[in-house]
């Protein structure tokens, strides 16, 4: 049948099973929005307040559902406003297809109104980018974009379509889409056998779970391996929920703000089994002293990650779920009760702790965990609140922690929460932000209200850029250059002006009733929780230091007394 390019785009989305898109219209993409109007009974469009919010929403939708997220934007600034969200998705391996429309082909390259080479701009932060100048190639390009975004190691793909191509017509033939198969052709039998041998010879194995365990849906295999070989487990931000935070073998996050137990265990283990992780600098600290007593076994789908940041002793390349299945077929049960008992002693000796005499971020998050029973999707922005969420909310299931781990994008969380809310309508969704991050994209509260679905926004408001100020306190002689936000901005009034219910919380006894009201609401609720600006995130490993240099507030007090 003959369809316009705009109609072909929508039909291709339907082929892929897309039910929700996030975007913002403009001149160059008007033909697509006109077609979308005709298909509104089949595809739900969420109008965000800003294109960046659309890209983060598509990202959050993808992380929460495991599907490919889709966002739309017009040419010029509309397209460039997507870039931060696209880069965020690239760093965290999130499958997103961004569709932009450009000026007509005759105007390309002539500095036309609202013209940018968006395909060129995003080339370093996408798996692939296209500009389609021939309507007969449009359908196949859209299909390729979805395959690339969702296969192998996922990531974002951008398709840019000139306006005249969206208006042109050609014959469209519907295709039946098949889901990409897991990557197994790179899994070598001898590598699996070596992995089993290393595990069988270890006395102190330690599992380090990364985002690949979530992406490949390998959580059942991860849990089975940990218990079969009696290995304690730590995780990265991206790996949260792949191993339950309520499991006795769980030691907490590792790295700069990881628990003392995880960091010390990393230094004491004799075998580190790294599952779908890229060994970020925030995890490893000084790579020269990382896991000094351990052989390292790395399992990852991306061969480029092997020996990139940390030199390993053995590896298996391929889809993590498939690799673990093969290992579990050969791996016998092991008894490491002495090693596990030592880990349990460390967990008891070095618990996470915070000031219980005042309202704090950890208190709010711990109370949120208690009231939800851990059954919620939590998104965050970036900073102290993000670390507290990772430390104090016990994530039991995968795809329940949405955060910008690689790029560290302030303003990410609220858009991501909206995406998760649309993709998982039966789940409780809460975004946790600091006041600095909330300022970045708080206009998306209007979007959340417009969606008419329950959503909770918690702002841990200390009137400073908390994490940056913490560094200034510890390493910059308390010179608080441009990190104090002590102004007249009132988040309660702003939220109410955008149609949300808003509650200010200033005391610990106000937290539980405010959370209960927010969690039971059928709309958007903002909790403005005022906490002290001097609160810091501990434990902490200084940048570039060894993981066993981890310190907490008690260590700082003891050090001051000894001086």
d(CA 553, CA 380): 24
Q: Is-same-fold flag (2-171; 361-530)?
A: yes
pLDDT at residue number 324: 98
Instruction: Output the CATH code of domain 361-530.
Output: 3.40.50.970
102 within 8 A of 131, measured Cβ to Cβ: yes
- DSSP character at residue 175: -
Beta-strand relationship, 401-402 and 429-434: unpaired
Nearest Cα neighbor of 226 from 213, 212, 211 is 213
For the segment(s) 189-349, the CATH number from 3.40.50.1220, 3.40.50.300, 3.30.465.10, 3.10.20.30 is: 3.40.50.1220
Distance spanning both ends of the chain, measured CA to CA: 81
Q: Which has the closest alpha carbon to 132: 3, 1, 6, 2?
A: 6
Residue with tokens 């790294």: 274
Domain ranges of the chain: 2-171, 189-349, 361-530
Residue 444, helix vs strand vs coil: helix
Catalytic positions: 51, 113-114, 163, 467
Q: Do residues 72 and 78 lie in contact, with contact meaning Cβ atoms separated by under 8 Å?
A: no
**Yes or no: domain 2-171 corresponds to CATH 1.20.120.550:** no
Write the DSSP assignment of 193-224 as a string of letters. Answer: HHHHHHHHH-SSEEEEE-HHHHHTT-HHHHHH
Residue 459, φ and ψ in degrees, nearest 5: -110, 115
Q: Which residue has the tokens 């082929």?
A: 15
The DSSP H or E segment spanning 501 is strand 501-505
Q: 308-312: which pairs have CB atoms within 8 A and are 24 or more residues apart?
A: 308/278, 308/279, 309/278, 309/279, 309/280, 309/281, 309/284, 310/279, 310/284, 312/274
How many helices (H) and strands (E) the chain has is answered by: 24, 20
CB-CB contact of 409 with 389 (8 Å):
no
Question: Where are the extended beta strands (E) located within 196-335?
Answer: 205-209, 233-235, 250-253, 271-275, 295-300, 314-317
Q: Hey, how many other C-beta atoms are within 10 angstroms of the C-beta on 106? A: 10
CB 275 within 8 A of CB 299: yes
Residue 159 is encoded by which pair of tokens?
Answer: 């398709």
Quote the pLDDT of residue 561. Answer: 63
Strand partners, 170: 3
pLDDT averaged over consecutive 10-residue blocks of the chain (563 residues)? Answer: 97 98 98 96 97 98 98 98 98 98 96 97 98 98 98 98 98 91 94 98 98 98 98 98 98 98 98 98 96 98 97 98 98 98 98 96 98 98 98 98 98 98 98 98 98 97 97 96 95 98 98 98 98 97 95 84 58
Name the residue among 59, 50, 49, 47 with its Cα closest to residue 22.
47
Q: Are 58 and 84 in contact (CB under 8 A)?
A: no
Question: What single string gives the DSSP state of each residue in 453-474?
Answer: S-EEEEEEE-SB-HHHHHHHHH
């Amino acid at each position: 049948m003959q369809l316009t390019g705009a109609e072909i785009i929508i039909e291709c989305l339907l082929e892929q099973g897309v039910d929700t898109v996030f975007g913002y219209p403009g001149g160059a993409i008007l033909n697509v929005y006109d077609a979308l109007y005709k298909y509104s009974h089949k595809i739900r469009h969420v109008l965000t307040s800003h294109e960046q919010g659309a890209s983060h929403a598509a990202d959050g939708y993808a992380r929460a559902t495991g599907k490919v997220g889709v966002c739309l934007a017009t040419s010029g600034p509309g397209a460039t406003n997507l870039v931060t969200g696209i880069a965020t998705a690239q760093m965290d391996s999130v499958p997103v297809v961004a569709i932009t429309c450009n000026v007509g082909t005759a105007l390309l390259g002539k500095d036309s109104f609202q013209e940018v080479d968006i395909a060129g701009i995003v080339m370093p932060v996408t798996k692939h980018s296209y500009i389609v100048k021939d309507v007969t190639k449009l359908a196949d390009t859209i299909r390729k974009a979805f395959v690339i975004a969702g296969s192998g190691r996922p990531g974002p793909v951008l398709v840019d379509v000139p306006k005249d191509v969206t208006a042109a017509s050609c014959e469209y033939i519907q295709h039946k889409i098949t889901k990409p198969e897991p990557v197994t052709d790179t899994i070598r039998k001898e590598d699996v056998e070596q992995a089993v041998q290393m595990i069988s010879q270890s006395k102190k194995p330690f599992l380090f779970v990364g985002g690949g365990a979530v992406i490949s849906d390998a959580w059942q295999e991860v849990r089975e391996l940990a218990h079969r070989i009696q290995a304690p487990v730590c995780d990265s931000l991206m790996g949260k929920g792949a191993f339950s935070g309520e499991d006795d073998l769980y030691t907490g996050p590792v790295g700069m703000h990881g628990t003392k137990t995880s960091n010390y265990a990393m230094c004491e283990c004799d075998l580190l089994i790294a599952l779908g992780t890229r060994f970020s600098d925030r995890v490893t600290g000084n790579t020269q002293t990382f896991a000094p007593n351990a052989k390292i076994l790395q399992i990852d789908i991306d061969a480029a990650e092997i020996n990139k940041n940390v030199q390993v002793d053995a590896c298996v390349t391929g889809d993590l779920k498939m690799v673990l299945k093969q290992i579990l077929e050969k791996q016998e049960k092991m008894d490491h009760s002495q090693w596990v008992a030592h880990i349990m002693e460390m967990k008891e000796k070095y618990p996470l702790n915070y000031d219980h005499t005042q309202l704090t971020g950890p208190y709010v998050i711990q109370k949120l965990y208690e009231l939800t029973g851990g059954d919620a999707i939590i998104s965050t922005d970036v900073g102290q609140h993000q670390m507290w969420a990772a430390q104090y909310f016990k994530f039991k299931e995968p795809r329940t922690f949405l955060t910008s781990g690689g790029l560290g994008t302030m303003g990410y969380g609220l858009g991501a929460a909206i995406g998760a809310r649309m993709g998982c309508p039966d789940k409780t969704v809460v975004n946790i932000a600091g006041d600095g991050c909330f300022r970045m994209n708080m206009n998306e509260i209007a979007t959340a209200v417009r969606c008419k679905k329950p959503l909770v926004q918690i702002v841990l408001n200390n009137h400073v850029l908390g994490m940056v100020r913490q560094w200034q306190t510890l390493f910059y002689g308390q010179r608080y250059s441009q990190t104090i936000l002590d102004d007249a901005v009132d988040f309660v009034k702003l939220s109410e002006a955008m149609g949300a219910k808003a509650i200010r919380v200033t005391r610990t006894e106000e937290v539980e009733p405010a959370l209960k009201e927010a969690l039971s609401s059928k709309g958007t609720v903002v909790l403005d929780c005022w906490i002290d600006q001097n609160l810091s995130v501990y434990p902490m490993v200084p940048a570039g230091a060894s993981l066993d240099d981890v310190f907490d507030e008690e260590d700082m007090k003891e050090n001051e007394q000894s001086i």
